[in-house]
Amino acid sequence: MRLVRLLAAALIALAAVIVVVLPSSPAAAHGSVINPASRNYGCWERWGSRFQAPEMATEDPMCWQAWQANPNAMWNWNGLYRENLGGNHQGNVPDGQLCSGGRAEGGRYNAMDTVGNWRPTNVGTSFSLRLQDQASHGADYIRVYVTRAGYDPTTQPLRWSDLTLVNQIGNTPASQWQPAPQGVQIDIPVSVPGRTGRAMFYTIWQASHMDQSYYFCSDVNFGGSGGNPTNPPTNPPTNQPTNPPTTPPTTPPAGPGSCTATYSQVGSWSGGFQADVRVTAGTAAIRSWTVTLTFGGGQQVAQVWNASATTSGSTATVRNAAYNGALNAGASTTFGFLGSGTSGTPTLSCTATT
């Protein structure tokens, strides 16, 4: 009997050793560029709930190789940083290793440096890059670079000499950032006139709480076909990068209490898609807004952020979150969502209260 008890205890101990628990979401700390998505954030956003799906290998091969190399790079999309570099980024992050932050975290993010056709975000030549700070660190500074004309991220490793600084902000406490579902976020206007085709944005975020440097590669396609091709979103830069960007309504405002909504597709894959909707107040300030999206091809809204939604078939009614309902005249806010079905442009309507 004693031998049986010993064997049972050994089997229980062995089971405890071999059980693997996969996280369902990243640790709530640090942050990343979420639009245009950094490489590992984009892979987590598109595939985190189905990271073992075999179709990823053909639909999103660069994310597939990254998940195969180290799934923790995606689960910890908010942890790509180095410490105590004293601002010497070029001296500590070699050419060809910029997207991994110079092989940060013991090489966890090395697959981010792999050269290939990473799925890009379609952008205009003027828009606002969004950085989310889940731990509300704030910034000593944030620098945003774009790759030079002629650089091809699908065939060339990234070097410092490929980058041109397009905007930067100085010391910005987290209290000056916008509220986010977790922590805070900040929109940084960028403008790259005349650019077309593939490129990459490279963002350095120097956090304020300690000497901690974050590095983000975001693949983009200037003038891409994603979203509504007849009514592309416009995001002109503002003078104050710590304030939400403003976007003029796409149609003349109807009067006090009015708002408009503009749809932009971010990406798509077999059976699903991701999109953003920008809500803009009319000629008077508003206290709350409601956007109705109606799809004509059976698509459905599956998940929403920066807002709440109720759905009925192919119609979704989306209402502001507590922190982004009040907008000054002409001011804007954005919510995003994941949809199921083949991507398509919905009919939108916007109502507001004053």
Structural domain ending residue among the three candidates 222, 240, 268:
222
DSSP for 17-38, written as a single string: HH-----SS--SSSEEEEETBP
Q: What pLDDT was estimated at residue 275? A: 83
104 and 213 together in one domain: yes
Return d(Cα 168, Cα 13) in angstroms, integer: 53
Q: What pLDDT was estimated at residue 334? A: 83
The answer to the question of residue 233 being in a domain is: no
273 and 197 together in one domain: no
203 and 269 together in one domain: no
197 and 61 together in one domain: yes
Q: What pLDDT was estimated at residue 96? A: 96
Kindly report the CATH number assigned to the domain that includes residue 78.
2.70.50.50
Entry pTM: 0.59
213 and 330 together in one domain: no
Q: What pLDDT was estimated at residue 58? A: 94
Q: Structural domain of residue 320, as residue ranges?
A: 259-353
203 and 294 together in one domain: no
Q: Which residues contact 320 (CB under 8 A, 6 or more apart)?
A: 279, 288, 289, 290, 307, 333, 335
Contact (Cβ atoms closer than 8 angstroms) between residue 86 and residue 150: no
The domain total for the chain is: 2
Q: What pLDDT was estimated at residue 2? A: 54
321 and 174 together in one domain: no
Return d(Cα 208, Cα 222) in angstroms, integer: 32
Q: What pLDDT was estimated at residue 204? A: 98
Structural domain ending residue among the three candidates 197, 222, 247:
222
Q: What pLDDT was estimated at residue 342? A: 86
Return d(Cα 250, Cα 58) in angstroms, integer: 37
Ordered per-residue pLDDT tens for the chain, 354 residues = 555 455 455 544 444 433 333 443 444 458 999 999 999 999 999 999 899 899 999 999 999 999 999 999 999 999 999 999 999 999 999 999 999 999 999 999 999 999 999 999 999 999 999 999 998 999 999 999 999 999 999 999 999 999 999 999 999 999 999 998 889 999 999 999 999 999 999 999 999 989 999 999 999 999 854 333 223 333 333 333 333 333 333 433 444 579 999 998 877 767 778 788 999 999 999 999 999 999 998 898 887 777 888 989 889 999 998 878 898 888 888 887 878 888 889 999 999 998
In the chain, the amino acid numbered 73 is: A
264 token code pair? 């932009």
218 and 314 together in one domain: no
182 and 63 together in one domain: yes
195 and 298 together in one domain: no
44 and 161 together in one domain: yes
The answer to the question of residue 168 being in a domain is: yes
Kindly report the CATH number assigned to the domain that includes residue 293.
2.60.40.290
The answer to the question of residue 336 being in a domain is: yes
65 and 204 together in one domain: yes
With CA atoms as reference, report the closest residue to 353 among 327, 331, 333: 327
The answer to the question of residue 25 being in a domain is: no
Q: At 111, give phi and psi (nearest 5°).
A: -65, -20
Q: What pLDDT was estimated at residue 14? A: 43
The answer to the question of residue 12 being in a domain is: no
